[in-house]
Structure 1
Amino acid sequence: MATVAVYIDGFNLYFGMKAKFGRKHLWLDVVELARQLRPNDQVVVVRYFTAIVKNEPAAAQNQQDYLDALSAHNGALFELNLGRFKDRTIRGCYRCGSPYTCICGRPFKSYEEKETDVALGVTMVADAALGLADTTLLISADTDLVPALATVRRVKPQQAIILAMPPGNSRPSRRLTQIGGLGYFSINEPALRRSQLPQTVTDQSTGNTYVRPAKWS
């Protein structure tokens, strides 16, 4: 039995699931998903990388409840790594200099996710170098992680590297496959369906209870 360390690009997985299946699988137990994806391996850790959304209080609360439920349900097997969103300036028209505005007259605002890709890449390389597990399983289709994967291959040539592609991604891009020796597969709906958290999760240490949001069904 091989050991496997799992790294999840939270937003990449979220947007893939939402685009393909709507909200019905978002109450996802990512540790159970890892077990479903690698049933013959021993999952030693699932590291989840994301950031809390900005200026959407209801969505941010749902997200925080979900992350707390994951931690309460899975204990030390689940590790949360939070980045942040930074306000992004949208420059005006490059010809006339006028600011871009909505039809209602309000200026466009945008936010940029920061630190999560870097944190995921650095952690993945460090774990491989330290020999945490025989296999690196990355749940993402993001080509920004190519340098990190290439570094894992360089520092630990014998490390098995497998990409689990979020829904909507049938195969990795050429930039990813050029690393060489990567296994890959797409995450299917039955695996998501079998990997849902209980409707209600209670944190035994605090007594806090987390309930699946009504719209996530």
Structure 2
Amino acid sequence: KRTNVYIDGFNLYYGAQKSFPDCKWLNLLLLCRNLLPGNDIQVIKYFTARVKALPSDLDAPKRQDTYFRALSTVPEIEIHEGFFQTKKRMMPVVMPEEQETPSFQGKRKFKEVWDTKEKGSDVNLATHLIADAFMDKFDVGVVISNDSDLVRPIHFARKLAKKRIGVFKTQGNRGREIMKFASFSKTITRQDLLNAQFQNPLTDPKTGREIHKPLSWN
């Protein structure tokens, strides 16, 4: 069966890879082939965004760029980038210090914070899934995400385009709703991730240069 895979990159990262640092050097094609051994995987569309350096983690963009370079060595993988939107917002403090004093009197304290949200990935994923389904670019589509916002696109691809749509989610309670709307489903385990790691170092076939896994991912 012709199979396309649509991956919510940050959902996969925060749902699985972040919890297991030794699983971050993930070969998405190998993961999908292991999970779908009888399928002909045509393309893997990976939806993500470029992270920005934070005072607490200045090297995050460098590590992400290294991983993107590793993914780019696999012809079947397409990287589709959204963006981060950062703005100032007034947010309530969970436990203000004044709450411990008589003068607080039940008042709620707010502080100005930087609010950073990733934009575009879920919309881009949904758009590609539906467009590819109606253009008959696959027989089976697989969505790797826990995001319940993808329920309707999955429903449309199944019921209107008459495609089989699977949902693979990470471990935990999130994602149970989206699995109800799938033709088939699976929970990705830590062992699944461990079984699908890139070699280290990895050789870029285009340049011949070695790509080394970030040290903090060992």
State the match for 2:216 in structure 1: 215
Q: Which runs of 5+ in 2 are unaligned?
A: 94-105
State the match for 2:116 in structure 1: 111
State the match for 1:103 in structure 2: none
Residue 155 (str. 1) matches residue 160 (str. 2): yes
8 Å Cα contact 2:87/2:114 also seen in 1 = yes
8 Å Cα contact 2:91/2:113 also seen in 1 = no
State the match for 1:86 in structure 2: 85
Residue 64 (str. 1) matches residue 62 (str. 2): no
Give the AA of the match of 1:51.
A
1:12 aligned counterpart, secondary structure: helix
- The alignment's TM-score, normalised by the length of structure 1, stands at 0.85
- Deviation readout 1:128-148 (Å, 9 max, x if unpaired): 111111101111010111221
Distance 1:195 1:176 in 2: 23
Give the AA of the match of 1:108.
V
2:22 aligned counterpart, secondary structure: coil
How big is the shift at 1:49?
0.4
Partner residue of 2:176 out of 150, 173, 176: 173
Give the AA of the match of 1:15.
Y
Distance 1:188 1:176 in 2: 16
The structure richer in strand per residue is: 2
Q: Against the structure 1 CA distance between its residues 209 and 87, is the aligned structure 2 distance closer, same or farther, given a 3 Å change threshold?
A: same
Give the AA of the match of 1:63.
Q
Q: Which runs of 5+ in 1 are unaligned?
A: 101-106
How do residues 120-139 of structure 1 correspond to structure 2 at under 5 angstroms? 120-139=125-144
How do residues 168-207 of structure 1 correspond to structure 2 at under 5 angstroms? 168-169=172-173, 172-174=175-177, 177=180, 179=181, 182-207=183-208
Give the AA of the match of 2:168.
A
Q: CA RMSD in A?
A: 2.3
Percent identity over paired residues: 30
Q: How many residues align?
A: 203
- The alignment's TM-score, normalised by the length of structure 2, stands at 0.84
- Which piece of structure 1 moves more, 144-153 or 23-32? 144-153
How big is the shift at 1:209?
3.0
Distance 1:55 1:151 in 2: 38
Higher Cα Rg: structure 1 or 2? 2
1:24 aligned counterpart, secondary structure: helix
